[in-house]
Chain A
């Protein structure tokens, strides 16, 4: 294990140096257990890091020491016909994509890359990071999020104990499904080393139906109509005119109007049939157009990675709101008006990407009030550390749920040393 710190650490332990910023870089399972056990005995918090691409998300931490898990890389098992892949948690997501692409497969939940949105480069994320944040792209509405594809893991708990859950098969109900709680736990429950995910065949073909000129409410109506057909719509989003102009896809950029986009994927003949049928059905909502492979892929990458708000001049605060789809348009329109913000919709109206000025807590209070009415949750995705420290980043929980969260954290990490406070104060 490589231990880097500002002051040379006394042998044989690091006791007495807990106030010195230390970078712990374990290379084996035993190293991880040692490092966590040391932190637990010192009651000193650790910040868990893979590639560090999501360091600017969540509540700002105060951990003096960093547990750098980046040595846990590499695909250890990939059996395309079994739809399963195991890899070190810090394996770059780019490596995973490349391996899957060679077999015409993919991570069906379309893990987004928020790098450019957060002001860093693209392609830096890791598989473990995507799972720890439970991310998902536009296909969320059809195939689920990272959680739905997470089959198994090994990790070290805050007690310094190695534990595992799940397996390498897609159907498994043996014991509690701890993959679900690890997904979206932001490194607060354990330091994951190996992870196993379900992979799926990539679609042979994709097309996107565009409908021009709908306002947000009409846009959601059009998307709802599409989602109520048996045509297996795999993504449905709405961009206002101001944001469609920022697209690099010609048909979208040059439309000079709002764009409602509906994607179908699958075998060639099926995609052509579903696309043309949907186009006919959606023509009642406005003029339509159709995007083929390359353009489709590009548009959905922009939507997935929040590119409309990822420009270098855009310093606004970015919120991600998950709400019942039918509430999306009105709620977002009202908030954007109140806060002087801008938004677009994904997940058929159920996902709102909202950009607002940094002033007045980045709109925290009106946003929380709106969520209290609609149901759902809002997460502060992009903001300076001060703001992320001043207002809740994740949706505040009802007292009952908050107590459960706190106790769950204690069950995995009784001394509160793994990314403490990253999600909620005291968790």
Chain B
């Protein structure tokens, strides 16, 4: 993975740029010391590290706007950053670019239960929103596993999901309004407390745009009412295939569970050893199926789910009978990543989505690749929506193992695309999957996407080097080459 070559001219102007930024953001908000820059050198994808030119931590949207305008006028690249939990390198710094940290935007501006929404600043954590409204019986639905730390601004950038998104949707389905600062410093408001957009759906376009189109300074999110009850069923299967059939059976029966997670044998073993959630160790695959709603509904559906599980050859079924037990069922799944971290010096988390019916084929291929590369792999899977998280175990201290793990990961993702899936379900493309975009998209597909980038940032200063394998100049993309100005098929009838 190579990043664009740093601009020597910008590197040479570092002091001058810091001085100018200090005029906009006074005090401690401009960081230039190497030691103080160090915490910003990577995000959740720690394999990649770069020291940023300067870190700026503005406190008001006017400061954000002025910083952006200054950078625009002086051709300085900007990498926006929330909590830095991206797993795809979305907030990886550029040596010749500033990090624009939104960490000081921590206020919940308004909670409006009557319109069932909240207006918050982008640095509020995902869980922070729910914490602010839970006592009144509300919550914010998308729940990425990093929800304690990740910010809502970052969630917008990545269109974050979580275990409940099959039923409650992704970030994009739960956001009503945004205020963004464009690369040239202009502030634009989109949406509000009403539904749908006037004109083109810029809200939908910005959500999941990985910080390449604008910097979010305010977010209006939908609030939902907390379900009366939730219960989980823990089901063990003798094969991954049987577990897959059970998932299909549940959905085929018209049931959309609040969450439906799957773990394979290596993931079960690692989690159980770590948190002792009580998972059966003699099964090949484990499903956690959570039903939520009124008690009468949950009980009714649990019975049906149990029936479907039995029909599909489940060898162990346990239903949670208390909140404590439900939490324990989840504890293992939620600790799966750190649990893998205990049995391996390093692990690399992938994020492909596949049509669910392809699961056995994909897992079989993964086992082959595991042998081929000589690296172990464990799988956790958002089974309801086909989002697969293979965890590749490696040791970064062994020369060449990281590269091998990355190559293994790339092979998995290419296979996901081959069976009708996609490169990333919720972690984003970032720098990690950038060079694989060509396996899913044609040159024309990518050019069209980059023309969208040009609409918002014609000089490619905002988070460049991410998402797109090649940086094209907007002027070049804007040229109109009509490939066929003449009608072919002259032999067709015309009346």
Contacts and interface: CB of A to CB of B under 8 A. Distances in A.
* Mutual binders A and B: yes
Contacts, number: 320
B194 A175 contact: no
B74 interface: no
B254 A204 contact: yes
B357 A230 contact: no
A169 B484 contact: no
B278 interface: no
A38 B485 contact: yes
Given A163-B445, A177-B208, A181-B205, A171 B487 contact: no
Nearest to B490: A12
B115 interface: yes
A270 B423 CA distance: 38
Contacts of B422: 167, 169, 172, 174
B45 interface: no
A148 B173 contact: yes
B353 interface: yes
Contact of B205 (A80, A162, A180, A266): A180
Contacts of B228: 230
Contact of B196 (A3, A42, A322): A322
Nearest to B254: A201
B137 interface: yes
B455 A394 contact: no
B227 A230 contact: yes
A176 B452 contact: yes
B434 to A, nearest CB: 11
Interface in A67-85: 79-84
A147 B204 contact: yes
A404 B484 contact: no
Interface in A25-45: 30-31, 33-35, 37-38, 40-42
A410 B452 CA distance: 10
B357 A375 contact: no
B317 interface: no
A326 interface: yes
B430 to A, nearest CB: 10
Contact of A169 (B205, B208, B425): B425
A248 to B, nearest CB: 28
The B interface, classified by DSSP as helix, strand, loop or mixed, is loop
B494 interface: yes
A41 B251 CA distance: 49
Interface residues of A, number: 113
Given A162-B444, A176-B449, A266 B115 contact: no
A171 B353 contact: yes
Contacts of B427: 173
A84 B165 CA distance: 16
Contacts of B452: 176, 178, 181, 408, 411
Interface in A301-332: 322-326
B113 A400 contact: no
B425 A173 contact: yes
A228 B424 CA distance: 35
Contact of A401 (B161, B199, B294, B447): B199
B61 interface: no
A170 B166 contact: yes
B275 interface: no
B272 interface: no
Contacts of B248: 81-82
Given A201-B256, A267-B297, A145 B196 contact: yes
A269 interface: yes
B377 to A, nearest CB: 21
B201 A201 contact: no
A202 interface: yes
Given A12-B487, A325-B115, A171 B193 contact: no
A193 to B, nearest CB: 14
A318 B440 CA distance: 44
Interface in B231-265: 248-249, 251-252, 254-256
A228 B116 contact: yes
A238 interface: no
Contacts of A1: 489, 492
Contacts of A407: 454-455
A70 B329 CA distance: 52
B425 A401 contact: no
Interface string A202-218: 10100000000000000
A231 B355 contact: no
Given A230-B294, A347-B195, A400-B186, A411 B451 contact: yes
Contacts of A105: 254
A159 B205 contact: no
Q: Counting chain A CB atoms within 10 Å of each CB, which of B114, B437, B445 scores highest? A: B114
A97 to B, nearest CB: 17
B483 A160 contact: yes
Interface stretch (B18-26, B380-388, B399-407): B380-388
Given A160-B483, A227-B116, A171 B386 contact: yes
Contact of B208 (A38, A140, A173, A273): A173
Contacts of A415: 480
A401 B357 contact: no
Contacts of B170: 171, 173
A145 B194 CA distance: 13
B102 interface: no
B225 A200 contact: no
A173 B192 contact: no
Contacts of A232: 293
Contact of A270 (B205, B226, B300, B493): B300
- The 5 A-B pairs of least Cβ separation, nearest first, read A180-B204, A270-B297, A41-B485, A201-B254, A395-B198
Given A104-B254, A161-B483, 11 more contacts: A15-B486, A163-B442, A163-B444, A165-B445, A168-B355, A176-B449, A184-B199, A228-B137, A323-B194, A401-B189, A405-B199
14 contacts: A37-B483, A38-B486, A167-B440, A175-B429, A177-B209, A181-B202, A200-B256, A230-B137, A230-B225, A230-B228, A324-B115, A324-B192, A347-B195, A411-B452
